[in-house]
Amino acid sequence: MIISSPANERLKLARRVRDGREAGLLFIEGERLSEECLQANLALVACFHTPEPSARTQTILATLEQRQCPLWPTTDAVLATISDTVQPQGLILLAERPRTTLAQALAGRDEHPPLTVCCDAIQDPGNLGTILRTAEAAGASGLITLKGTTDVFAPKTLRSAMGSAFRLPLATGLSTDELLFATRAAGLRLVAADGAAKHTYLQYDWRRPTAVVLGNEARGLRTELLERCDAHIRIPLHAPVESLNVASAAAVILFEAARQRQRT
């Protein structure tokens, strides 16, 4: 049966997931991200696809069928009503969110000391997804978001993260007090990315157990959190440039951390 009505109940569920109104579920769109979902072995809920799938999509559908995921061919016009992209990609999956803990996000990885990324009130899904991807690539232990940060599992964030959100340990929605308690209990130093800091990111010893904190795109870190961090670092910039995009700053800092940690 081909779904041909936008009012179909299954499509209503997909829209709720897309809009973040179904706790515990992910909206995954496109071939690349669907392949990442399958490689991560996420629990599958449903698949909506064009009646005339490409060869690549057919391969994905065959794997989904083997894993007993319900497949729902849907007319292109109706599929477009649930798409989150300007140009619908003809393939949408619903899956369960990966389950990781705060302890996992704060634990070391590959015999290295912990290096956790903390995001304070970052608003742009593209920035957050890029930070996620960069954190995994640089060998970070996990990522934590504080209250006020955009949804780490929103469709736009997932597309920017390109699968890293399925693999990297994540903890979301923490308060400042919860972050401070958890990092100190785990023996991590809180290091703030702060444009006014005395020391640069090159002067910090990233081989120490560390949680680096990145702030809001416009305001930076909240004063309450900034004042309670154990150390502050900045990225030196040539005038007249005053700041970097937060995702770019994360890449600079994390790959310096990765360089230092390779020496351990």
Task: Look at residue 64 and tell me whether its pLDDT is greater than 70.
Answer: yes
Given this model, what pLDDT does residue 110 score?
Answer: 78
Confidence class of residue 196 from pLDDT cuts 50, 70 and 90? very high
Task: Look at residue 263 and tell me whether its pLDDT is greater than 80.
Answer: no
Q: Cβ(17)–Cβ(27) under 8 Å?
A: yes
Domain 102-261, CATH number (from 3.65.10.10, 3.40.50.620, 3.30.200.20, 3.40.1280.10): 3.40.1280.10
Residue 36: HSE in the Cβ half-sphere, 13 Å Cα cutoff? 22
**pTM, two decimal places:** 0.94
**Domain residue limits, the chain:** 9-96, 102-261
Structural tokens at position 229:
């961090």
What is the distance between the alpha carbons of residues 48 and 3, in angstroms, rounded to a whole number?
9
240: left (phi over 0), alpha (psi -120 to 50) or beta: alpha
- Span 9-33, pLDDT tens digits: 999 999 999 999 998 999 999 999 9
**For a pLDDT cut of 90, what percent of the chain falls above it?**
94
Domain 9-96 is in which class?
Answer: alpha beta
Sequence-ordered list of residues with C-beta below 8 angstroms from that of 186, at least 6 positions apart, any chain: 103, 106, 107, 114, 209
DSSP 221: S
Task: Look at residue 199 and tell me whether its pLDDT is greater than 60.
Answer: yes
What is the distance between the alpha carbons of residues 73 and 130, in angstroms, rounded to a whole number?
32
What residue type is assigned to position 160 of the chain?
A: S
Q: Cβ(131)–Cβ(7) under 8 Å?
A: no
Q: Quick check: do 9-96 and 102-261 share a fold?
A: no
What residue type is assigned to position 184 of the chain?
A: R
> Whole-number mean pLDDT of the chain?
96
Buried b (16+ CB within 10 A) or exposed e, 94-112: bbebbebebeebbbebeeb
Given this model, what pLDDT does residue 264 score?
Answer: 57
- Span 111-121, pLDDT tens digits: 889 999 999 99
User: Residues 161-173: what's their mean pLDDT?
Assistant: 97
Confidence class of residue 231 from pLDDT cuts 50, 70 and 90? very high
Helix, strand, coil percentages, rounded to 5, for the chain = 35, 20, 45
